[in-house]
Amino acid sequence: MKKIILLLLCIGISVNGYTQNEDEKQLKKIYDQALTDGKAYDWLNYLSNQIGGRLSGSLEAQEAVEYTKAQLDSLGLDRVWLQPVKVPKWVRGTPEFAYFETSPGLSTNVSICALGGSVATPLQGIKAGVVEVQGIEDLQKLGKAKIEGNIVFYNRPMDPTVISTFASYSGCVDQRYSGAEEAAKYGAVGVIVRSMNLRLDDYPHTGSMSYGDTPVSKRIPAAAISTKGAELLSTTLKLSTETQFYFKQNCKQFNDVDSFNVIGEIKGSEFPNEIMVVGGHLDSWDLGDGSHDDGAGCVQSMDVLRLLKATGYKPKRTIRAVLFMNEENGLRGGNKYAEVASNKKEKHVFALESDAGGFTPRGFSFDCSDENLKQVHSWKSLFEPYYIHLFEKGYSGADIRPLKSDDMVLAGLRPDSQRYFVHHHAENDTFEHVNERELELGAATMASLVYLFDKYGIIK
């Protein structure tokens, strides 16, 4: 048996069923092309520094649609098009302002920002007492008598002992998303939420929130406070329970507006009706320029198509780059893409999303069958020279999730996450915090996985 295995290895065929030498060469070509002539960083530079934050429904979002379509057109793809989608339009308005007051005339300013989708305060702002809680579950314990007429201050931090920062984020993001809806039930007049950030700094982090089925007349304003501000406010409340908090914000929700997903594809040479998707979301929040979240994922997805063409690979299956609109505050783009695909009876077999920042890639998480995950593990030796080692079951991505079916593979790129929540949804999510080489490595890693699944297919 050992002689047989040795013979197979000598002629370039692995015991896992793929041509090791051929695949090694193709991955090397992909990585070499990305690291010597990558386009992702230049595209991101334009998106970030010439266009800026791309909140759904904004002029900047439309400019991003036009720019990325033009760049995909320039790649000589088989088809590039815009897919119409209605998106919400929420506007922040003039900058928010907040302070807390321990006695008349003695106040301390703190950094806040309105949460996405929040209502405005009254024109004169809101000033009230503060009730600090560690989570939504504390509201019931305190009851209406202690909460009514006050501002609820959610101050549960991200757990620094959890190595997966996305898991840490999941452990406390409910207070941001549902905090205002739940606090309103107990008569609160407003909500302040500790930013989802592992670092102590003065950058408040926005993000989506929901009022659920709360009537419009009973919706209360919600804002995020920086982590330094949260620490200071919490300490002050322990020293003075009579502390008052004031904040003013001017945000507004408008009617839905027209926008687009941006799509480019290379037609498959053997199985054109089998579609593989790689994508990220083109919209971002408005505080920074959305470089990590998720300009990085968009330009990486665009470069996947370019890398495959530049290395001379002719896909068997149709490969699409999809830049989804409105992931941040509605998921309209992802839902619309899946709806159109279903109506057209398109056969999607694979989808890969990059929405975890442009940091050094570590691997992928997969929503797929055990058989397909086993196939991925058979490719591990191909990725090891590039320090890609993580191949596990897990979450794929918000925009590709609506495509899910039993006989397809969903995957999410997993970069190193330790710095991600320093920038997530904050003013410092900007271009200078993206490393060119790390971004290019991510694009090459994505292109390599697409190549392997295209070549060997999905196990059904």
| Long-range CB contacts (within 8 A, 24+) of 119-123 | 119/219, 119/220, 119/221, 119/251, 119/253, 120/93, 120/221, 120/249, 120/250, 120/251, 120/252, 121/190, 121/221, 121/247, 121/248, 121/249, 121/250
Q: Which of 152, 162, 450, 184 is nearest to 320 (CA)?
A: 450
Report which residue type is found at 231. E
| 101 flagged as catalytic | no
Tell me how far apart the alpha carbons of residues 330 and 257 are, in angstroms, rounded to a whole number.
Answer: 13
DSSP per-residue string spanning 271-324: EEEEEEEEEEE----SSS--IIIIIHHHHHHHHHHHHHHHTT---SEEEEEEEE
Give the residue among 430, 455, 419 at the shortest CA–CA distance from 316: 455
Q: From the candidates 96, 181, 274, 327, give the one annotated as an active-site residue.
A: 327
User: Which residue, among 208, 51, 180, 43, has the nearest Cα to 121 in the 3D structure?
Assistant: 180
Name every residue whose Cβ is closer than 8 Å to that of residue 241 and which is 6 or more positions away in sequence.
none
Which residues are part of the catalytic machinery? 327
